[in-house]
Structure 1
Amino acid sequence: MRALVRSPFVTALAGGAIVAVALLALGVAGRERTTTTVIEQARVAGGLAGTAADQRWMMSAHEVYERDAPGVVYVHADPRTGSATTGTGFVIDRDGHLLTNSHVVGDARTVKIRFGEDRTVVARVLGRDVSSDLALLKVDPDAVDLHPLTLGDSSDCRVGDPVIAIGNPYGLERTLTTGVVSALQRQLRAPNGFTIQHVIQTDTPIGAGNSGGPLIDAGGRVVGITSQIAADGSSGTTDISFAIPINTVKDRLTELKETGGVVHPYIGISAITLDDRLASLRLPVKRGVLVQSVHPGGPAAAAGVSGGTIESQVEGEAVLLGGDVITALDGRTVRSMGQLTRAIADRKPGDEIKLGILRNGESLQLVITLGKAPGEAPADDETP
């Protein structure tokens, strides 16, 4: 289980809202920690849309477990670089496709999959999207009895909805834990430094070994893939865990199957949100995104976006002044880094965007052709 330290979609989010450094596609190195997994058998109540039709699909935690646990597997990988890793995966169809996290399989070409206690088979790593921390696996469908899980619609998730995780925390196979959706639209850092959007936050207890397992709603449908836990450097349990939304997975499945990877849009800047904490800097605008640096050779550099050159300090954190302030994208007001990164993430490489910027008190518009994100988030030595 990856430990979440911080987060935004672009190069580093240091210190609250001040340095949400953005490459527009990004991650931070996680620090490993453990959590205590609590096994529960609570009734899954509430949630869904509340209609009569929805109520017919309400299931108890036990019913969800009986239906879905046979499709949850134990994953053991021996990457070509790094040490062996273990985690969770789950079956998505009768053709032998399974999903897990990219950080579970690393750069391994094949992994061992255990179905329960009595059947282990070899799976091929069919595709990876490291920027979304996803991996698609394939087993011989004739070699094992497959029990595909139903993929739901993560856009239907609401704060307070009950959810269930089934996984292998600390090697304890097919452990069930329950909780609720705690928040939506979070951001996570992927293993390669880029940012994952639209993440589901939950208080469902998950621990080392849960990574790659399903987060399931009260109808027994997968709404996310458990991926990271919050970490504050102390020991003990955490009430904050995160799951990649299943709609993100579904958007990438075809590309993973056909090409073995996913191409993401890229702008190539590091920037921070202008907010009340920066009021002391007396900038010409109160809201927007202040560019810290522009990555050489990237789309923003080609379009003439300017980064900061003057070092300053805000509440003990370094901030570069003098760069462009992004105030709009395609005519829509931009007030925060999160808003900008989400807008970029919804585009494709090759798309043109118009950035409204403020430079030395003058309003300008720059047209940028989005590029393809590199395999790793570029190092940004200029970023504080």
Structure 2
Amino acid sequence: MSPEKTRVTRRQLLRVSAGTAAALGIGGSAAASADPRVIDADASSGTLQDEATEGSGRYTDIYEETIDDVVLVNVFGTDEQDPGGLGSGFVVDDYVVTNNHVVRQASEAELQFRDEQWRTGEVVGTDVQSDIAVLSVDDMPDGSDGLSFADGTPEVGTEVLALGNPLGLDASISQGIVSGINRSLPSPSGFSIPAAIQTDAPVNPGNSGGPLVNLDGDVIGIVFAGAGQTIGFAISAELAERVAPSLVEDGEYEHPYLGVGVLPVSPLVAEANDLEDPQGVLVTEVVPDAPADGVLEPADDEATVDGDAVPVGGDVIVAIGDREIPNQELLASTLALETSPGETVSIEVIRDGDRETVDVTLESRPETDLP
């Protein structure tokens, strides 16, 4: 994507102002992050209402910092088989990022910015496996400076804001926290989308493709879907940062591929396989001609434990490089975020009761027949 802009943006000015206020002891990030239910016993005056007002004021600041970079994405349908759709997106550098399922097979989409003017966005790259799409815009509004992806994995409990167009209502904001990390989301490709973020910030149809931001105004995820009961999901910024630049440059992204089916090592599986601890993942299948074929060994038998049939005899993956693999989610996210096609990785396994390390050269995921 394009180099970092050198001009001072409105967001930078707001951040500088907030930092200056904190340094002078008149508010800023420390006050905004404080529990609004707590009153300073040493303060000469102050009320819960004042504290709550400061917190809500911080949300207003973030909204004003970011909303010019949030767009409504409208895709016109052609027939009953392709009905079109409505979603959200946001500016990163000089491009608009959204969900693949928002643009679908379209070559362009109509984008409405906060200035109420419509622009035409050309779809320059899509990736169904991560559900990310990127569009180019020739005449980006002056107020759209672009959002930044946050670094690293957010902590559970981090306060977040979802921006977008729920039910077609433009320029909307909702508030919540990060409820969970390393979730797996469904993908029509048959591969799951790893390293996803769970949130209780209300998201609805129309929010898809919009940003989930932290209180620094940085994007921690791309809103994927809401599941009701205050559960929503977002594609992680860590994955988006790998995928989006490749879509801009090449129109596609190649995901690393190992080629195994696995099962979590539960206490039942651990007992059947004489494992000391219920940790790691048992290889139950190795895809023929996949990178793991001939290197990793799948389960080849079954044992009955308390009346349940349990696969036995396969390798148990416990680490990739220096990264421990306690479950399926960490296996998927480690491969997705820390490896690339063509890279040779060291995989530590428990085989026949002994620990050993094998090397596997990853490939690109094979194409799949989409529904």
Q: TM-score range by the shorter chain?
A: 0.7 to 0.9
Task: Pick from 59, 66, 69 the counterpart of residue 67 of structure 2.
Answer: 69
Shift of 1:154: 4.3
Task: Give the aligned partner of residue 92 of structure 1.
Answer: 92
Aligned AA (1:324): D
Shift of 1:258: 0.9
In 2, Cα distance between the equivalents of 1:325 and 1:273?
9
The alignment-based identity, stated in percent, is 33
Task: Give the aligned partner of residue 334 of structure 2.
Answer: 343
Shift of 1:311: 5.3
In 2, Cα distance between the equivalents of 1:116 and 1:331?
46
Q: Give secondary structure in 1 for the equivalent of 2:83.
A: coil
Task: Give the aligned partner of residue 123 of structure 1.
Answer: 121
Bigger share in helix: 2
In 1, Cα distance between the equivalents of 2:157 and 2:309?
38
Task: Pick from 49, 52, 56 the counterpart of residue 28 of structure 2.
Answer: 56
Shift of 1:88: 0.5
Q: Is the 8 A contact 1:73 1:115 kept in 2?
A: yes
Q: What is the TM-score of this pair, normalised by structure 2?
A: 0.74
Alignment of 1:233-382 (within 5 A): 237-279=228-270, 281-286=272-277, 287-301=279-293, 303-310=294-301, 320-330=311-321, 334-345=325-336, 346-361=338-353, 365-376=357-368
Aligned AA (1:212): G
Pair 1:251–1:325, CA change in 2 (3 A):
closer
Shift of 1:298: 0.7
* Number of residue pairs matched by the alignment: 321
In 2, Cα distance between the equivalents of 1:300 and 1:318?
25
Shift of 1:292: 1.2
Please, what is the CA RMSD of the aligned residues?
A: 3.4
Aligned AA (1:85): G
Q: What is the TM-score of this pair, normalised by structure 1?
A: 0.72
Alignment of 1:182-221 (within 5 A): 182-221=179-218
Q: Is the 8 A contact 1:331 1:356 kept in 2?
A: no
Shift of 1:212: 0.5
In 1, Cα distance between the equivalents of 2:305 and 2:144?
54
Pair 1:154–1:211, CA change in 2 (3 A):
farther
Structure with max Cα Rg = 2
In 1, Cα distance between the equivalents of 2:75 and 2:320?
42
Alignment of 1:27-38 (within 5 A): none
Q: Is the 8 A contact 1:79 1:107 kept in 2?
A: no
Task: Give the aligned partner of residue 104 of structure 2.
Answer: 106
Shift of 1:211: 0.5
Q: Is the 8 A contact 2:122 2:135 kept in 1?
A: yes
In 1, Cα distance between the equivalents of 2:305 and 2:99?
37
Q: Is the 8 A contact 2:200 2:230 kept in 1?
A: yes
1:180 equivalent to 2:177? Answer yes
Shift of 1:204: 0.3
CA deviation digits over 1:301-342, x for unaligned, max 9?
1x3423234456789987543333334434765433233333
Aligned AA (1:56): G
In 2, Cα distance between the equivalents of 1:189 and 1:358?
29
With a CA cutoff of 8 Å and minimum separation of 6, indicate the structure with the bigger relative contact order.
1
In 1, Cα distance between the equivalents of 2:308 and 2:252?
37
Gaps of 5+ in 1: 1-47, 231-236, 380-384
| Residue range with higher mean Cα deviation, 344-353 or 206-215 | 344-353
Q: Is the 8 A contact 2:273 2:313 kept in 1?
A: no
CA deviation digits over 1:334-381, x for unaligned, max 9?
4332333333221111111233334445655432111111234999xx
Pair 1:70–1:329, CA change in 2 (3 A):
closer
Shift of 1:151: 1.2
Shift of 1:260: 0.9
Alignment of 1:152-171 (within 5 A): 152-155=149-152, 157-171=154-168
Task: Pick from 135, 151, 172 the counterpart of residue 133 of structure 2.
Answer: 135
Q: Give secondary structure in 2 for the equivalent of 1:300.
A: coil
Q: Give secondary structure in 2 for the equivalent of 1:63.
A: helix
Q: Give secondary structure in 1 for the equivalent of 2:152.
A: helix
Q: Is the 8 A contact 2:162 2:210 kept in 1?
A: yes
CA deviation digits over 1:156-211, x for unaligned, max 9?
73333321111111122222111122233333333423233332221100011101
Shift of 1:77: 2.3
Q: Is the 8 A contact 1:90 1:148 kept in 2?
A: no
CA deviation digits over 1:246-266, x for unaligned, max 9?
233233333221101111111
Shift of 1:153: 1.7
Pair 1:284–1:182, CA change in 2 (3 A):
closer
In 1, Cα distance between the equivalents of 2:104 and 2:309?
34
Task: Give the aligned partner of residue 41 of structure 1.
Answer: none
Gaps of 5+ in 2: 1-17, 33-56
Pair 1:78–1:333, CA change in 2 (3 A):
same
In 2, Cα distance between the equivalents of 1:110 and 1:263?
23
